[in-house]
Amino acid sequence: MNKLKKLFSFFVFILVCSLLSNSFCVTLAENTKSMSENLTSEAVLIMETSTGKVVYEKNGYQKKYPASTTKMLTAILALENCNLDEKATASKFAITSIPSGYTTANIQIGEELSVKDLLYALMLKSANESAVILAEHISGSQEAFADLMNKKAKEIGCQNTHFVNPHGVHDKDHYSTAYDLALIAKYCMQNETFREIVKETSYTLPATSVYPSKNRTFSNTNNLLIYDNRNRADNYYYKYATGIKTGYTSAAKNCLVSSAEKNGIEYICVVLGASKFYKSGAQQSGRYIDTISLFNYAFNNFSFRKLYSANSVVQTVQIENGTKDTKNLELLISDDVNTFVSIDNKDSNLEPQIVLNENLVAPISKGDVVGSITYDVEGLRYTTDLIAGNDVIEAKNTVFIFVYVGIGLFVLFLVFLRIRKVLKDNQNKEL
């Protein structure tokens, strides 16, 4: 009876494990479907920054108008070509070229501001005249700066982007894609000053000789960063958010390029062509709703998995010409192998490709690179060196040793015979 109970319990355990396994396998697919059904924006894309892996996209490679998300590239070019404390002067063109209805920071013609002040006005207030002032300061004209922007975009890896101005004021020839904007944002966030600017919630422009008041204070237009403890439909604060830039034109609709970091994982999220809509009688912004949904999806369904730590033994191989005591060579991994995987591969068995150097023979010194190990996981390749964990001493071939010794003894014997003959001949002569 006890054996029957144990057997029944075993089968129940197997059945439960099977059900849990099947449920686990469909979790990512179900989560993806559920999330995608609720997205309202025309194009979205979310990318993990350290690997560049795109974990979700919808129309992510389709050309769209980027609006003021353009200013990310303007900002990084200013940081790479200027000192923060150097002054730039607002030209008449910079102030008057901005069409009515577009955002400004009330900068005046002839006013001098530091590059730092202009960058905060650019990225927090989304001041369009600030973009032109920086463009003229760096390149002499808006057109020349646009050439610089396009050159930089190509260097970053953008293939479907073309800019004609530094701010994103609508132009039919001014376009990008969610993927290209993610590449630009990823590049920009490698600059610590850029990171500091885009996460600030407010800034005040200083008084100048042209504008003596200090009343030009503005909040960041990115509501993911603005904490509000009121329970309102337009409260989009996201505690993991770290930036980056909003955008809007009537043609582009609402746009948002954002970043968020949680448990050591950082994502760049791009939302283009979003609209406002009403839900439960309250107006809501699609760009924030979609962005938060995408961040939650990514953080809940992907993570890093350490497969090996540096100096771990991967396997042991025999080196044929090594001595008996040293011929077993331990292969050590040179660096940590951290793979970025979906929940489907969080615990699955991942087989590596191990390639040893050609003609791997003794002598081998501990620490020598002897091959490589590669994992191909979900479209990404992770490769690192394999190093020798011990010395392998070359074994001498005993057959050749015996041959050499035999030859040596034979030569000595011939010499002995020769000497003996000479001595005998000498004795005969004396007699």
**Residues with catalytic function:** 68, 71, 126
Tokens 């041959």 found at? 403
The token duo for 221 is: 């237009």
Let me know the angle formed at the C-alpha of 68 by 99 and 40, rounded to the nearest 5 degrees. Answer: 115
Tokens 């924030």 found at? 288
The token duo for 393 is: 């001493």
What amino acid occupies position 427? Q
All residues at 6 or more sequence positions from 183 whose CB lies less than 8 Å from its CB, including other chains = 52, 156, 157, 158
Q: What is the crossing angle of helices 286-301 and 2-37, to 10°?
A: 150
User: Do residues 389 and 330 make contact, with C-beta atoms less than 8 angstroms apart?
Assistant: yes
The DSSP line for 96-133 is HTSPTTS----PPTT-EEEHHHHHHIIIII--HHHHHH
Q: How far apart are CA 236 and CA 246, in angstroms?
A: 13
The H or E element that residue 320 is part of is none
Q: How far apart are CA 171 and CA 168, in angstroms?
A: 8
Q: How far apart are CA 33 and CA 31, in angstroms?
A: 5
Rg (CA), the chain: 35
Question: Can you give 235-270 as a three-state secondary structure string?
Answer: CCCCCCEEEEEEEEECCCEEEEEEEEEECCEEEEEE
Q: How many CB atoms lie within 10 A of CB 236?
A: 21
Alpha-carbon torsion (158, 265, 294, 229), positive or negative: negative
Tell me the backbone φ, ψ of residue 254, rounded to 5 degrees.
Answer: -80, 130
What amino acid occupies position 153? A
Residue 353 Cα distances to 291, 338, 373, 376, angstroms: 37, 16, 6, 9
